[in-house]
Structure 1
Amino acid sequence: MIFLYFLSVAMSLKGKVLFITGASRGIGLAIALRAAKDGGYIAIAAKTDTPHPKLPGTIHTAADEVRRAGGKALPLVCDIRNEEAIKAAIQKTVDTFGGIDIVVNNASAISLTDTQETSLKKFNLMFEINSRGTWLVTKHAIPHLIESGRKNRNPHILNLSPPLTLKEHWFKNHTAYSIAKFNMSLFVLGWAAEFRDKGIAANALWPLTVIETAALKAIGSHFGNNTRTPEIMCDAAHLILTKNSKEFSGNFVIDEIILREHGQTEFDHYATRPGAKDMTIDLYVDDEIVNLAKTLQEAKSRKKSSKL
């Protein structure tokens, strides 16, 4: 359904303007730093202006890292639950960098709790950030993405959300979070069709295995030691964002699969613990996806063996 990835327009994000939500840490920051290596211009839109008591990083420390990596940075205090804050952040980005070419909807709230244990406050937070916030950011960025398309600058929307599935076990233990997260994927489905004639791509990216971030640790989730770093997601995001936006849209991409489809064979360096094997499969990754990843791995191994 979603797994053939050979349409590329360029292999660099040099000079491209990225508006990334939740980019002060974790996967959002990793994507920002990968774009910065190319010489990208990064708007870091997040709430953390001063150090958080439990989580590392602020928009300012992230901006410093982006600059050291070779990019230009614009730290923006932006709570994506607030429409006026979003509008101001997007306008500041356009005023500073001249436009917006890429929107990465990375900001997300998580509570892996069942219906009785999910408070209304947590429910509202997940839907206001994951669903409503993603929609609001994209809504106000669309005029600038359309302008990017007119200038043939390859505009993209990338949501950090899972491949769509209706298998009930993915909803059973955390219905509210699952629906809030799948809403982000439904937006991809709609936006791919809505903006195709404007040359704007809309895609989703999700990890095959659990990605260890400070935020995941903070909520007290325990996925064992077989996790990966955010760098695998930023490498996969880079491949998506350098594809031809007129040809590659409406896809639900899995990080390891797109990397393997593009010839990558080594993944050990993404492990959070050296030597760790049998990585923990992430939420919402169905068996067919796991089996495809294994098939690609085995095919590469056979090809390598035949050359020896």
Structure 2
Amino acid sequence: MSLHNKICLVTGASRGIGRGIALALGSEGATVYITGRTLELSSKAPGSLNITAEEVNARGGVAIPVQCDHGVDEEIHRLFDKIKKDHGKIDLLVNNAFKGVATIEKNTAIPFWEQEKESWDDVIHVGLRCHFIASQVAAKMMVTQKDGLIVNVSSAGALFNFFTTPYGVGKAGLDKMSEMCGKELEQHNVTCLSLWPGLVQTEAIVAAKESLEKKKGAGVKIDVSKGETVEYAGRAIVGLMNDKNLLAKTAKTITTADLGSEYGFIDVDGRTHHSMRCVKAGVAMKHPWLAALIPAFIKVPWAWLVAMVHHYY
């Protein structure tokens, strides 16, 4: 129970990656505040805060579900007031709440100039702005403590042209926010970074498996079965929380797979995931026989990857 006595907050934990992160933290004995708009299970969407809480408690953690609309500043402030009143500290904030899934699905095939303004507002308001508000409040507590970690759940959509223009802008903005906040917080021994999961087997992705696998990204067919489980990102965050040299990662953007390689963890189903920087994984997409000859530790430097993406895509 490496995170016993740690006070954590995971936003958007009713389902998907947020739920997986909460479960991983609970498995290590953490006290986990989980937020979302869905407190009780309904027919509108799978999962709920109360179900996630039951699962976290069953793992040995302590879950505290708090219904919260992260699009409303006052509700975010009330949430942190509760944490401060209950425990007087916060060790980890995971900004994961996101409202734009339905908007993205509706607008993916529509040019940006023909989209309704909600295509921007939904993604940027709850997905970037709300993360900034939560980070502000958490930082005030963490700076006083001289300790803490803020993780912004981002994606490769900040680099590749995935989904819609607002989605890419939101994720790129989140990475830049992590960089600048991380640099300001470093002198106070507080870490802030962006985390990129790979393709994740969320409820929405699994439900859309057939349509996704008919598409091709960058000429490569999507295989949902090879995606990370929702708990893989959680294991990455557990690794960060136990990293004695955590502050060295502040202001950086890091993939879950790179952390898996660094910290030596695998997914809950026993699979090892390779970073998008891994030459072996990249070659395997089109030439499996050649990939078998390449060691997994050979990786393209981050700056090279960025340059190649900007050149070819």
Supply the distance in 1 between the matched residues of 2:123 and 2:196 (Cα, whole angstroms): 18
Aligned to 2:138: 141
User: Is 2:269 aligned against 1:269?
Assistant: yes
User: Is 2:157 aligned against 1:158?
Assistant: no
User: Is 2:200 aligned against 1:211?
Assistant: yes
Amino acid at match of 2:201: E
Amino acid at match of 1:66: V
Moved more, 48-57 or 124-133: 48-57
Q: CA RMSD in A?
A: 3.1
User: Is 2:227 aligned against 1:239?
Assistant: no
Query: TM-score if structure 1 supplies the norm length?
Result: 0.77
Aligned to 1:7: none
Where 1:176 maps in the other structure, the secondary structure is: helix
Supply the distance in 2 between the matched residues of 1:34 and 1:267 (Cα, whole angstroms): 11
Aligned to 2:308: none
Where 1:104 maps in the other structure, the secondary structure is: strand
User: Is 2:129 aligned against 1:132?
Assistant: yes
Aligned to 2:219: none
Supply the distance in 2 between the matched residues of 1:189 and 1:87 (Cα, whole angstroms): 24
Supply the distance in 2 between the matched residues of 1:172 and 1:49 (Cα, whole angstroms): 31
Supply the distance in 1 between the matched residues of 2:33 and 2:186 (Cα, whole angstroms): 25
Aligned to 2:24: 34
Answer whether contact 2:11 2:18 (CA < 8 A) is retained.
yes
Supply the distance in 2 between the matched residues of 1:118 and 1:219 (Cα, whole angstroms): 22
Supply the distance in 2 between the matched residues of 1:212 and 1:141 (Cα, whole angstroms): 29
Distance 1:35 1:118, change over 3 A: same
- Unpaired runs of 5+ residues, structure 1, are 1-10, 272-276, 303-308
Supply the distance in 2 between the matched residues of 1:291 and 1:118 (Cα, whole angstroms): 37
Supply the distance in 2 between the matched residues of 1:67 and 1:172 (Cα, whole angstroms): 36
Supply the distance in 2 between the matched residues of 1:41 and 1:180 (Cα, whole angstroms): 29
Aligned to 2:43: 53
Supply the distance in 1 between the matched residues of 2:91 and 2:246 (Cα, whole angstroms): 11
1:185 to 154, 175, 190: 175
Supply the distance in 1 between the matched residues of 2:132 and 2:251 (Cα, whole angstroms): 16
Query: TM-score if structure 2 supplies the norm length?
Result: 0.76
1:85 to 75, 78, 97: 75
Supply the distance in 2 between the matched residues of 1:164 and 1:98 (Cα, whole angstroms): 36
Aligned to 2:60: 70
Distance 1:103 1:66, change over 3 A: same
Identical amino acids, percent of aligned pairs? 24
Aligned residue pairs total: 271
Q: 1:238 Cα shift?
A: 1.3
Aligned to 1:259: 260
Supply the distance in 2 between the matched residues of 1:46 and 1:97 (Cα, whole angstroms): 21
Q: 1:107 Cα shift?
A: 1.2
Where 1:100 maps in the other structure, the secondary structure is: coil
Supply the distance in 2 between the matched residues of 1:214 and 1:115 (Cα, whole angstroms): 27
Q: 1:29 Cα shift?
A: 1.3
Where 2:63 maps in the other structure, the secondary structure is: strand
Aligned to 2:279: 291
Supply the distance in 1 between the matched residues of 2:208 and 2:295 (Cα, whole angstroms): 38
